[in-house]
Each structure stands twice: as C-alpha cells, then as structure tokens.
Homo-oligomer: A and B are copies of this chain.
Amino acid sequence: MRAIQVARYGERLKLKNVDIPKFNPIDQFLVKICYAPINPSDVYYVKGLYGLRKPLPTIGGFEGCGIIAEASDKSLIGRNVMCWADDSINYGTWADYFPVQKQNSIILDSKIEHNNQFDQYCSPFINPFTAVGFLDIVRKLNAQCVVLNAANSAVGRMSIKLFNNQNIKTIAIVRRQEQIQNLYDIGATHVLLSTNEKFDQELVQTIKQNKAKVFYDALGGEYSGLIFKNLENSGMLVGYGRFSNNKINDIDPIDLVFKQKEIKGFWLSKWYEQKGSEEQQQIKKLVENQITSTFSTRIQQTQVPDDDNINELIKLALNNSGQGKYVLDFTK
C-alpha cells in the first residue's frame, strides 16, 4: 500500500510502498482510507515537534475517513467510517490502510453517497473534539464569554459555532479584515482585528463588558498577558495547539493569587483519554450529528499525494490554512 512515511523526524517525507498493516480484530477495524487532512498538529508530528514521538519509521496523519475493509463483525465491512490515531499504534492515516482502535472511530450512516463530498468527513477528531474540550472547560468554570485568537482557524470556527449554539459569547481575534464578516456570519459575538490601531483598548473594553472568563490562546505573544489580566476572577488562559514561537509574557502574580486565575494547556489526546467510555460515546454522537454543520471542515485543496507534492502540501498546510484544509486523497 501507499504510505507517507517518516524515516527520521524533520526529514523530507516520502511516499513509500509498504505492507498493509496487520490488525487486531478484537480491538480494531482495518480502514481503507479515502481522505486524510494535513493538520498543523500532523506537521508538528512529522517534524518531531509534537508532544509525542513514536518509534521510527512511522506513518503521518492523525485522522481521516474511509471504508471499513476488515472487521470481526462482517456486517460492518463496507461501512463509511471516520477514524483517528492514538498513542498506542504506530500507524497514521496518510496511507491506503489504517488499523484503527474501535473506540477511535465513528461509523457513519451507510446512506452517505461516495461522491466527491466524502472528503468533508476527513476531520472528525482534532478540531471537533478540541472544540468540545473547550466547551468542557467553559462549563467547569461556568463562563458566559470566552476569548479566542487565531479565530479563523478550523478549531476557532468550530468553537465559535459550538459556543454560539450554547449561548456562550465569543470574542474572536483575527489578523485580517476580510475574516471579520465571515466570523460574524457563523455566530461570533464580537470580532476584533488585531492590526487595528486601537486594538488594545477595544480588546480590554470588550473583555470587561462581556465578563470573559476563558482565553483559548493559540499564539502566545504580546497580548496574552493583557487578555489574562482582564479576564474575570477564577478565569483561565488555555494554551493549545498551533503555536507561533511566541512566549507568554506579562503575567501578574496578583491575578494568580487574589483573582485565582490559572494558566494551563489543552492537550487533546490526554483530555479524551481521561473521559470515561460513556462520555466518549456522547462526544462522538455529538460530533457525528453535527459533522456537516457545527463541525464542518472547509477544504482548500484535495490532492492525490506523490513524492513531488507531499512536502510542498505540508508547507502550504502550515502556512496557508486560512482558506481551509489541504486534504490527501487515497481514493485514486
């Protein structure tokens, strides 16, 4: 089968011809992958910059969608499935076949047509589950309003929609004028442009007026301290994912002690592992039901991978994702 293999972390990737993985029918399905996205976290992983390194050689790709090719329950063979990797297996979804742990899959209604819309189902986990994890934090802290930066990212957009459904207000920070209306259209309460001359002032005022309590910080850098400072008491800065190299600065210890604010990180796989299987089922059901609405993925380009385009696509996926995902096509 074809597989995008990582021989050494950080090296150029190659499309290799490798054996179809063995699968364990008790715990796993074998999935014929149709589409797999290139997420920023995938790129960090293949570069060796992710929180986790697996033994080499390894295969890239944390998630995708496809068809069940092998299963102990034969009636499932041929069903459409969304699936994702976890820390326990050394396979990725950037390949023709992927052995998925059963609990890391969502089997879809068999009526979905295999037309060219099926790539819409390729991002079931990284972004949707992160948005659900963000909602989890909001509920624990009983927050009424949150701040998101890099708000036009996939996870930013899904979070805005999910929070809007739950009547949680969002203050969305973007870096480009043309993203503003777009985020209002999907339900953002306030959209602020960080390049505005009076951004600092607007930001502080909007946070205070709306009593924002949680700040999901994808960027770090100069505004993190300012936003943290202005959050409600018992508020939280939640660092996640898709960083620039910026550090978080200007944290006032008074906020930590007397305002009982906290600074934490959100690591999707740890969060999901800690959930009981019943709650995991509920989350999967929620994502399945809203995969084409709240959790819909904008796709910029779907490409059959080859040795020539794969490294270029990875670069584009990291630096040019504002218009949507780059998706690898394993159907052809």
Contacts and interface: CB of A to CB of B under 8 A. Distances in A.
7 contacts: A51-B258, A248-B253, A249-B250, A257-B266, A260-B265, A260-B270, A263-B264
Nearest to A225: B247
A316 interface: no
Contacts of A247: 225, 249-253
A119 B30 CA distance: 74
Contacts of A258: 50-52, 265, 267
Interface in A268-292: 270
Given A225-B247, A247-B225, A249-B251, A262 B264 contact: yes
A243 interface: yes
A43 interface: no
Interface of A: 50-52, 217, 220, 225, 239-241, 243, 246-267, 270
Contacts of A217: 253
Contacts of A50: 258
B260 A262 contact: no
Contacts of A240: 257
A256 B260 contact: no
A241 B254 CA distance: 9
Contact of A239 (B253, B265, B267): B253
Contacts of A220: 251, 253
A64 to B, nearest CB: 23
A239 B255 CA distance: 9
Given A260-B270, A262-B263, 18 more contacts: A51-B257, A51-B258, A51-B259, A52-B258, A217-B253, A239-B253, A243-B254, A246-B253, A247-B253, A249-B249, A249-B251, A251-B263, A255-B265, A256-B263, A256-B265, A258-B265, A263-B263, A263-B264
